[in-house]
Amino acid sequence: MTVTPAKETFLDPALLARISDLPLIARMVVDGFMHGLHRSARKGLSLDFAEHRQYQPGDDLRRIDWKAYARTDRFYVKEYEADTNAGVLFAVDVTGSMDYASGAVNKFAYARILVAALAWLSQRQGDRVGIATFTDHLVEMVPPSTRHLQLLFAVLGRAEPKGEGKLPPAIDRVADVASRPGIVILVTDCYGEPEEIGKSVNTLRARGHDVLVFHLLDPAEETFPFGAPAVFEDGESGLRMPLRPEEVKERYQRMFAAHRADLEGRFAASGVEYVPLRTDQPLDHALYAYLDHRLARSRVR
């Protein structure tokens, strides 16, 4: 009999998608991730104080442990302790294209699990958490607060991916309502023109927000593995088109790669962290990216 390691169980989206209790999922993911993190050699990501080391020129003076200095008359810094107490707003795409799945988990189910886990992790760090769901307009909005985690879970629980939407107007609306600078985590499949998406994300940056974009992809959207002729339907508009995959596959893959490269270049130029995620990937990649972002943010404060 094959036994699935606990870490894989806690981070496997296909297994987690079978559970309907979002708080339970969030706890499982974060506890499993933190267990693996504490056992790993990866440094700089622990949520808790790990150890001291002697001060070196160039270290952030705010990390000096003054109590240790009083005892030893030497400068030590606290290593691997991330600063917290930020406002974190999760902006989640609920358009029809997020309903697509070629495997066990559609993009929206993955987004729901991801946001639940990140919100739990943020709350554990002492952050204020909030959520905005959107199509081309805001569907629901809960502003960041230390008391809004359960409201966030409730919004995620009743959200359904359906209908058309344009990403730029939704991002602009998020910028309008997120008046207090903080962290905006955009979870979307990035359907839309990269130039327009980039301009809207720049609006968030111009208003003082740190922005992290999780670009959710189904594996089939990346590889286009289809063989037999079929009718393909747009997930948002419902437009149907008969295609012979062998005739369009190469062109599709080129266009897909160009779209992603364009997005990545525009986000990098704006100082936005861009993390592409496939729905068959375990969640630890996303959580590492988030904690890396938080640690980098704490170092430049």
More confident residue, 107 or 290: 107
- Strands 87-93 and 128-134 come out as parallel
**Mean pLDDT, residues 280-299 taken together:** 81
pLDDT tens, residue by residue, 57-72: 666 666 677 777 677 7
pLDDT at 38 over 60: no
Ranking 146-150, 152-156, 227-231, 294-298 by mean pLDDT, the lowest is 294-298
Length of the chain counted residue by residue: 301
H/E element, 217: strand 210-217
Look at residue 47 and tell me whether its pLDDT is greater than 60. Answer: no
Arithmetic mean of pLDDT over the chain: 84
86 Cβ contact list (under 8 Å, min separation 6): 122, 127, 128, 182, 183, 294, 297
Q: Are 65 and 52 in contact (CB under 8 A)?
A: yes
Average the pLDDT over 176-188 and give the result: 91
Name the residue with higher pLDDT: 219 or 36: 219
What residue spans define the domains of the chain?
A: 87-299
Residue type, 36: G
Which amino acid does the sequence have at 219? P
Positive or negative, the Cα torsion across 283, 286, 289, 291?
negative
pLDDT digits (tens, 9 = 90+) for 129-142: 999 999 988 999 99
Tokens 């266009």, located at residue: 255
94-130 pLDDT per residue, tens = 999 999 999 999 999 999 999 999 999 998 888 999 9
Question: Could you give the percent of the chain with pLDDT greater than 70?
Answer: 82
Contact 184, 209 (CB under 8 A): yes
| pLDDT of 299 strictly over 70 | no
Q: What is the pLDDT of residue 251?
A: 95
Q: Does 229 or 11 have the greater pLDDT score? A: 229
Q: Strands 273-278, 210-217: parallel, antiparallel or unpaired by DSSP?
A: parallel
Domain spanning 87-299: which superfamily?
von Willebrand factor, type A domain (3.40.50.410)
Query: Over 50: is that where the pLDDT of 26 sits?
Result: yes
Please, where are the H alpha helices in the chain?
A: 6-11, 13-16, 22-39, 66-72, 107-124, 149-158, 167-177, 194-206, 219-223, 245-270, 284-299
